Structure 1
Amino acid sequence: MNLEELHWFVVLAETEHVTDAAAELGVSQPTLSRALARLEREAGTPLFDRVNRRLRLNAYGQIMLEHARRGIAEMRSATERIAALRDPDTGGVRFAFLHSLASWYVPEQLRRFRASAPAIRFELFQGPAHEISRRVLSGHADVAITSPRPTAPGLGWRRLYVEQLTLAVPRGHPLAGRAKVRLSAAAGEPFVALSPQAGLRQLADELWAEDAVDPDIVFEATEIPTVEGLVAAGFGVAVVPIPRQPRGESRIVHVPLSNAGAKREVGLVWNRDAVLSPPAQRFFDFLRNHALEA
């Protein structure tokens, strides 16, 4: 029995008369009688006692009425919640982004967007690139910002900006005074890197392979600030993006890499097979229209 017929049962239970219930519902008496018969077949027992020309709920019907009212209320609540989430002014957006974008880009974009849509709610997820792609494809995130461009089928991509990659070295390091450096110049250095699943690590792996560098990785971290902190402490050097904003005390030097592929594309990702809710579409359009690239 569908939700509409469940409502018919509730009205029938309240009026205790097929003719009166049919008139109130605007359906024919035979249609209502057939719906009741289907419900009783599904329940496996009569739900009413027939007394004279009226219907009286029996013990089984009382149980069905209790659950029918609860089910109708739950479905009404669900549709109201869905409508609220889809409201372009007060709905919700599930947004995922990289760890490394949490210090400046993502907070700034959220601040600017919320200035024009303060009532929209956000469910935020911060994580590595492979987990972000999984969440978008599985429907657990509406839109995401990640890097590098994911290769999984079904994901849409819109580049937002490009970052220059650098070799981070401790202040006073022999390479610290160079205007630019090729990654091969650090071939004999210990490296601090991100974990293999990280998007930036994938770019570093490509650069090492391009320059035939077999890196001596002394530690794998989960976030760029940890990588840079260990570089500052003298544990090694690292491949990181050039900072857009100061990252604490300047105890390291970022030397731009001259390798042609020493760039990180940061972009907007979404599931091409999914329809964005109005608030998610509004946020998506905002990010796309405020891309930093030329």
Structure 2
Amino acid sequence: MDITQLHYFIVAAEQEHMTRASEILDLSQSALSRSITSLEKELGVPLFDRKNRKVLLNRYGKVFLKDAKKIVGQVEISKSNLSQLIHPDFGNISISFVHSLGLNYIPSLLKEFQLANPGHTITLNEDKAPLIVKDLLTNESDLGFATQYQSFSDLDYNPIFKEKIVLIASSQHRFSQMKHIQLEEIVQENFIHYNADTELRKLIDSIFLEYNVDIHIAYDGLEINSIIGLVSSNMGIALVPESVVQNFNDIKIIPILDVTIDRTIYLIHKKEGYMSKAVLFFKDFIFSYHKK
């Protein structure tokens, strides 16, 4: 049984005449008869009482006609929904991104995109890099923004920008009065740190290990919003991506003279996966956005 068979059955039932039904369907009468006979055989009951070329629904056919119309109607609704999702002018785009991009980068990117393209709907998901990769591999997201913590052969990684990881402190902290510091000067301070399984935590810990710096972690296991809040309240210092503190007047960036820390953000998607016109359009916009 398939949708075509159901459509043929509905037309024949409504016309109650095989010749008229075959003309409407632009189908030979014999092909229409074979389709309906096959459907009846699969269902195990006759759907029509036949007399010459006239066909009248019997009680089984009347019950099945209601269900067939519901099924065909639902398929048409689903086709329409999918068409809207992939439409280049007002389709849906699903993106995942690491938490630290949600404070500035993603809002700025989406604001500019939707000012020019208000018809699109965008589904957002904040997560850690490994879970973003999982969403991409299982087609839960169309595009991902994250660091390349691990390379997967099924994914395409496009570097879109590099940003500095900077030391921040409250405007009330003693560091805020300094023009710069050495990395080793932070060892006496309360350090506010990320969740252990985030890529920023791993990057920063690798720098501390390389420079043999033993920090005092006062608050641990946090995401970027909590870290910014604690620093703003002068509860300690932290290393964060530079973009996340662009709009905080009570937080100061203190340059570190003896080390430069940065990370690269990639636009990630499946190599072989289907990509709608709406997603392709947004992907092109992202590359243009970074060429400005």
Superposed displacement of residue 236, structure 1:
3.6
| Residue 216 of structure 1, CA deviation | 4.4
Which region of structure 1 is more displaced relative to structure 2, 227-236 or 168-177? 168-177
Kindly tell me: are residues 172 and 113 of structure 1, through their superposed partners in 2, closer, same or farther at Cα, counting changes over 3 Å? closer
Give the structure 2 partner of residue 255 of structure 1.
255
Partner of 2:193: 193
* Residue 65 of structure 2 is aligned to residue 48 of structure 1: no
Are 2:237 and 1:237 equivalent residues in the alignment?
yes
Residues 1-294 of structure 1 mapped to structure 2, 5 A cutoff: 1-51=1-51, 53-170=53-170, 171-173=172-174, 177=178, 179-182=180-183, 184-187=184-187, 189-213=189-213, 215-243=215-243, 245-256=245-256, 258-259=258-259, 262-291=261-290
- Asked whether the 8 Å contact 2:97–2:146 carries over to 1, the reply is yes
What do residues 203-236 of structure 1 show as CA deviations (whole Å, max 9, x unaligned)? Answer: 1232233234455433235432321332344544
CA distance in 1, matches of 2:71, 2:198: 45
> Is residue 231–residue 252 contact of structure 1 (8 Å, CA) maintained in 2?
no
Change (3 A) 1:257 1:47: farther
Structure 2, unmatched stretches of 5+, are none
Cα distance change, pair 224–254 in 1 and its aligned pair in 2 (3 A)? farther
Deviation of 1:123 after TM superposition, in Å, equals 1.4
CA contact (8 A) 1:159 1:291 kept: no
SS, match of residue 161 in structure 1? strand
Query: What are the Cα deviations for residues 120-139 of structure 1, in whole angstroms up to 9, with x where unaligned?
Result: 11112223222222222221
Structure 1: how far apart are the matches of 2:291 and 2:230?
30
Give the AA of the match of 1:88. Answer: P
Tell me if structure 2 keeps the 8 A contact 1:166–1:242. yes
Deviation readout 1:126-168 (Å, 9 max, x if unpaired): 2322222222222111112223455333222222221111233
Contact 1:176 1:255 in 2 (8 A): no
Identity %: 28
Q: Which runs of 5+ in 1 are unaligned?
A: none
Following superposition, the deviation at residue 7 of structure 1 comes to: 0.8
For 2:79 and 2:222, the matched residues in 1 are separated by 40
Q: Deviations over 1:45-64 (max 9, x none)?
A: 11112346532212221122
Contact kept, 8 Å, 1:149 with 1:267, in 2: the verdict is no
The 2-side partners of 1:97 and 1:177 are apart by 34
Distance change >3 Å, CA 207–CA 22, structure 1 → 2: same
Deviation at 1:287, TM superposition (A): 0.5
In the superposition, the TM-score normalised over structure 2's length comes to 0.87
Distance 2:22 2:243 in 1: 71
> Structure 1 stretch 279-288 or stretch 19-28: which is displaced more?
19-28
2:109 maps to a residue whose letter is Q
Distance in 1 between residues matched to 2:181 and 2:175, nearest whole Å? 13
Provide the secondary structure at the position in 2 that maps to 1:256: coil
Question: How far apart, in 1, do the equivalents of 2:217 and 2:88 lie?
Answer: 47
Question: Take 1:28 and 1:4, find their aligned partners in 2: how far apart are those partners?
Answer: 15
**Which stretch of structure 1 is more off in the superposition, 172-181 or 1-10?**
172-181
Number of aligned residue pairs: give it: 291
> Contact between 1:160 and 1:288, CA under 8 Å: does it hold in 2?
yes
Distance 2:259 2:291 in 1: 23
Quick one: which amino acid aligns to residue 163 of structure 1? E
Report the CA distance shift for 1:215/1:273 in structure 2 as closer, same or farther (over 3 A). Answer: farther
Q: CA deviation at 1:252?
A: 4.7
AA partner of residue 135 (structure 1)? D
Deviation at 1:174, TM superposition (A): 6.2
Query: Which one is further off, 122-131 or 217-226?
Result: 217-226
